[in-house]
Chains A and B, each alone.
Chain A
């Protein structure tokens, strides 16, 4: 009785784990490929439990059975069937059943392509809709629900790995090479991805906001994203005076730095510093003055020469870029 209760509690707790983290979990899929992966995992888990239980029962039986219960010949037949024939058939069956899962999702010329470049320690995101000009963004990727999307994955400096656990499996980003990951989201919502290959001091602080949107909402969003954002105020002048535009683009005449993340619609993003800090004015101002305190080894230099008020003004300006 006690044992039964314990098993129920453990099984319940394991089930609850997926609910803890619905926005970054391979057990809480929002895409077709992640659903396949979870399906494979659950089938394998169930089979493994059955086999492990069978082996345990056989061992219990073998320990309790009197000596000479089986003849040598019977014993050898048991080994042949349980150790040779059945595992071969089961593994072959699993292989044949799972092979179709490896087939890449078909990609048509009309499908949206999103180029994502991994850099220490952020993501350069370029939307390439068919028949239209590219749209630059960073550290947030939005995809339409129900449509096939191809990620073209590259790396600028070292090897990174692109992993949105709720959407699909992980794929390496390798300098000098383009890997393609084709996915389809099935459920709208806000999710999270993560670099899955050690890439430097702040590897663990290289995350990605993922937003799956209804197709119509996505099209409207992409059209808005394509337009330059404008905001004015003291922060705009400080942004230019301190040379921020040497590295960061805010799409507007004369601001074309491409070393760091594109900030055109910075204010509409949910997080700061590649999925690490909530988007608050204090966080943005603090990051501008001392990015290395949030992300050790970050490529952006610190600007301790800015006063707290100046950094806050720039932060307000950036947050105004919706």
Chain B
């Protein structure tokens, strides 16, 4: 007996299969239980698909400088806060909860070796669907992701003592009850280039920053993780405590061109004077004496990628102003505000 394939029969078969699939899904017979795990072949197929996806997307969309090892302190703090509960950390066991998931969160001391920096960047930035791996909580802080990539790269071989030193807490598994893990007991940010000096800052500004991180109007996955879980009274207490410490307030000094931008602005490039907002009694942060790497890092972050047109970038106050500052003036400006002079600070001829 032969069955002749006609258009009608082919389409009817496809429709019948689709209906059978819907019937199966509707019936609820399919077992979604994590406790049963995957069949080996399903496990292989899903991981194979995931690896291919990460490889292809990382190759095309991850930046060429995916890791930044200069700021491991804040990355370690965030890892302790947000990642170690599932992945564990040197000397810290992962919570059994996520080990009972399908798939379980991998041990990064082993797993990190399997990925390139660009692939790690892509995974940390975007997360992985159907695995429980979340995306970075904000999508516009690639600088934070870069620091995390550098930290994860160092996890294989990191000793518990080294990890504890980075996190700055005696018991890194616990919630960071104080801010001192990253910001230091003295509010100076433990020397990390990406962590601002908080001592001497305006307490109202610190409080507004914490509220901004908690509500998401200030973008930072690292600070949001902490701020969202602080009670209003905790925020006020932390702001007052750090503002009262010594730190900021050093007199700006150095490059004459930078001094001119700070005090008078630069009309030709439509840069308003920094001091018109960043001055005593105004609702903007104190910059005098701030860490120069932090100021320069924030300015560069606001400038964004050169290849993206301004109309697609943030139109908030500082991003607009930062984009007008010549790249060559960013470091002299940061050092001037920090009150640090350097022999090669002389851009007066140029600007």
Contact = CB atoms under 8 A, between A and B. Distances in A.
A276 interface: no
A246 B320 contact: no
Interface in A285-306: 290-292, 296-305
A6 to B, nearest CB: 48
B143 to A, nearest CB: 21
Interface in B258-303: 265, 267, 270, 272-273, 276-277, 281-284
A247 interface: yes
Interface string A255-286: 00111000000000000000000000000000
A201 interface: yes
A304 B281 CA distance: 20
Interface stretch (B18-26, B96-104, B309-317): B309-317
A303 B317 contact: yes
A243 interface: yes
A246 B272 contact: yes
A298 B310 CA distance: 11
B2 interface: no
A302 B272 contact: no
A258 B277 CA distance: 16
B272 A292 contact: no
Contacts of A65: none
A241 interface: yes
Contact of A243 (B267, B270, B272): B272
A303 B316 CA distance: 6
A304 B317 CA distance: 8
A247 B281 contact: no
B298 to A, nearest CB: 15
B270 A259 contact: yes
B324 to A, nearest CB: 9
B315 A259 contact: no
Nearest to A245: B276
A297 B315 CA distance: 9
B311 A297 contact: yes
A259 B316 contact: no
Contact of B315 (A241, A245, A247, A301): A301
A292 B283 contact: no
Contacts of A241: 281-283
A241 B320 CA distance: 19
B321 interface: yes
A259 B277 contact: no
Contacts of A301: 315-321
Given A241-B282, A292-B315, A305-B317, A299 B276 contact: no
A297 B320 CA distance: 10
A242 interface: yes
A245 to B, nearest CB: 7
Nearest to A258: B267
Nearest to B217: A304
Contact of B311 (A201, A258, A302): A201
A155 to B, nearest CB: 14
A296 B311 contact: yes
A151 to B, nearest CB: 23
A211 to B, nearest CB: 28
A290 B318 CA distance: 14
Contacts of A305: 283, 316-317
A292 B312 CA distance: 11
B262 to A, nearest CB: 11
Contacts of B317: 301-303, 305
B320 A243 contact: no
B29 to A, nearest CB: 52
Given A257-B272, A304-B217, A246 B315 contact: no
Nearest to A305: B317
Contacts of A243: 272-273, 276-277, 282, 284
B310 A302 contact: no
A263 to B, nearest CB: 14
Nearest to B319: A301
Interface string B145-186: 000000000000000000000000000000000000000000
Contacts of B282: 241-243
Q: Which of A201, A242, A243, A247 has the most CB of B within 10 A?
A: A243
Contacts of A297: 310-311
A242 B277 contact: yes
A128 B223 CA distance: 55
B320 A302 contact: yes
B11 to A, nearest CB: 49
Q: Which of B267, B284, B316, B321 has the most CB of A within 10 A?
A: B316
Given A301-B320, A302-B317, A305-B317, A259 B265 contact: yes
A83 to B, nearest CB: 54
Given A246-B273, A246-B276, A297-B310, A259 B281 contact: no
Nearest to B277: A243
Interface in A117-141: none
Contacts of A292: 315
B147 to A, nearest CB: 26
B270 A246 contact: no
Contacts of B270: 247, 259, 299
A164 B149 CA distance: 59
A300 B321 CA distance: 9
A298 B316 CA distance: 12
A302 B276 CA distance: 16
Given A243-B277, A246-B273, A246-B276, A302 B315 contact: yes
Interface in A233-256: 241-243, 245-247
Interface in B31-87: none
Given A259-B265, A305-B283, 4 more contacts: A257-B272, A258-B267, A301-B317, A302-B317
Shortest 6 CB-CB contacts between residues of A and residues of B: A246-B272, A246-B276, A301-B320, A243-B276, A243-B277, A292-B315
11 contacts: A243-B276, A243-B282, A257-B265, A259-B265, A259-B270, A301-B315, A301-B317, A301-B319, A302-B317, A305-B283, A305-B316
